[in-house]
Structure 1
Amino acid sequence: MPRFQYRAADANHRIVKGQIEALHETDLVTQLDRLGLTLVRASVVTKHKRAVKSLTQQELINFLFQMEMLMRAGVPILTALGDMRDTAASTEAQHLSAGLYERIQSGETLAAAMDKYPGIFSEVVVNLVSSGEVTGNLPEVLRELVRALKWQHEIAAQTKKMLMYPAFAMTVIGIVVVFMMMYVVPQLTTFLLSMEQGVPIQTRALIWVSDLFLKYWWALIALPPLLIAGVVALAQANPGVRHFLHFLVLRIPLFGEVLKKIILARLTDTFALMYGTGIPVLDGLGHCRKVSGNLVIQDAIGRVIERIASGTSISSSFAAERLFPVLVIRMLQVGESSGALDESLKNVSYFYTREINESIGKAQAMIQPIITVAMGLILGWIMFAVLSPIYDSLSKMKT
């Protein structure tokens, strides 16, 4: 979008100079008029088009919410985008609004304009907006999009919160173990080995681990990131390994089941949204398959699509994959038979939302005692290995 250098007069006929981005001189006049200025002279400084990198999830929610509110109030799309450009809270949002404005003004639809920004608007968002434009129900589609994105943002925040405590606790445990092995145990090693009686096996094991930390500390530091990098590279190069890792993720104790519920909740919520806006079942499931983010779930959805395409009912197709519990399958069956599948899908999404909240609460309640026990076992082993030979020595001295 061009940047103009301008001279303008305010209400008191004083000359004001400045620079501002505008699509063309007419747009510049409109923007200055909103500022209470009258254009005197303008010249183009640069025509450089700045690429919009991305928006945060919260910025995207705010952007779509503002668009929905303006359009629901009856404001034309170009006017709405112009207002959003002029009042944008961030430079990225300003350039996005301006880019959409320019493309729509040149004759593109809103969905086609959004499709030019794949790093911001997903394929699902573009298809939903396109459906809303065709049906004339764009404000309602935007409202549902905002709701869905808010829900996904909240679930992501809850999941991060659930993972923060174990990550912090494991870091503390690691620091304590390293300190004990590299500073405390070496100072006790000479004393323990100087005892006349034999050193117990647990003490020898502790000394061996301490020596390992002292001699190969550099390898212990480098090993975890190297292993992670190796696994990631192998997964990228080998689809079979990638599929196996995605399978293992869903089997992680505590976290795997929560992650599976989050994926299925997002899937059903997106499917309900797309089906409710008039997108065909197979197309909707195809888009949901792409956004699931897990190869195991993607393969299952692919088989569901094949069954539905061959004439099997939606509920029976999902039941064959055993992705959902019996209660969810029953809800889908009722929705199909009553012709209210979109409502049934919304109920399924609500069901999973409650399940996710309960599962996260249970996981958080279990994580703390598990980590406490693990820390106690590690420190207990160290204390036992150090104190047991000392206690044996004192016992022999008494006898």
Structure 2
Amino acid sequence: MKFATRFIKGLLLILIVAGQVYGQEQLSWLPTNSPQGTVFFLSSQKKHLYAGIHNHGVYRSSDLGETWERVDQGIASLMPHCMLASGKYFFVGTNHGIYRSLPDELKWERKEKGLTNSKILSLAQNGKTIFAGTNQGIFQSHDEGETWEQAKLPQPIGVSRNIYALLVTKDNNIIAGTSRGVYLSANEGNTWLLLDVGTPHDIASLATDGKVIYLGTSGDQIIETERLSFFGKGIKQTQGLSNVQALVVADSALYSGGNIKGVVKDTQKIDRELPFEGIRSIAVHDKVLFGGTLKFGVWKYALKPKKLHDIELAELGKADAQQYGMKVFPNPAPKTGDRKISYWLSSTEKVEIQVFNALGTLVYKTDLGITAPGKYDFNLGGNNNLQAGMYVCTLRIGNKLLIEKLIFSE
């Protein structure tokens, strides 16, 4: 059963990202196989997705969350808050300082010279300077993290000196989210302004699409502005989620995550099947949206499902996609009605059909044997033992795997 469950998760992911959904967006989230816990950060770096998970450490996945490996050798803290790829190094900020590693080795060393036993909450880079947002303000390094110096900041609006988020804009302005406002530097961190953004809440997250700057608050607002030096006039406040701790822009859409079961795409909630507790971090990796939850590890949601002929699945390339195919109809259909599977192939192959339910249980299987080239119809028929819901039908043609989502109604 465990193998079947993992297998069906893989099938569902392929279906969502690359199957014959034909332009539809996925309707619900799926859990990955990450450790359970609060996911403080998600970071997409080339072929890997990294996650910092409370009480577990730093993990990475190279297969869209199907498997995870722990990669925090040398990091003493199990509270990893943020990650940065800068030059030839990776950096991880934790409850007990900053750690640095070469990406290929992932053997971490603490870099604390100049830091004052700080909790590292955020990281960013502008040119050759690395900025660290801490519980004691902003620190910066000009020598790849070897040494750090504290920035001279104006007196905070509230009592908090926490720097919850850092962002570098396309015009090299550096923005730091803090209690009730933001710090802004337009000269590479040499001097800073403190701007009151008109909210009694913390600025918990930051993002930009290159034109608009988005500020997620610890309340229920996302503040939008095009000119940080012009707060109070023309600023737009958008209803968001409770405690907007996660923001990311992908394909011109703003994805925001917060407490109490929530991810919002622009103004539309896309939170079906998410845990009620909500989202702590969010990232896009290989066209898939990932959400780090507050209790239950990393979950995923596809951004751009593709048609079959757009992808390579096992040895099924673009040329083969015109020679191998499958269609199921009607779909959706009553669970007791007939359902026909049409499939075609251009060479003699072994053909097998399997149907899995949403839990990964194999509920139907038939071996059609060695089949000559041509187009065929197979009647899946009705099955009174199947409950209404979503299923996955797989058609294996030799070593090619085609996938179709099935919906059974009452």
> Which TM-score band applies after superposition, normalised by the shorter structure?
under 0.3
TM-score computed with the length of structure 2 as normaliser: 0.24
Give the number of the structure whose residues are more often strand, by fraction: 2
TM-score computed with the length of structure 1 as normaliser: 0.24
Q: Greater relative contact order: 1 or 2 (C-alpha under 8 angstroms, separation 6 or more)? A: 2
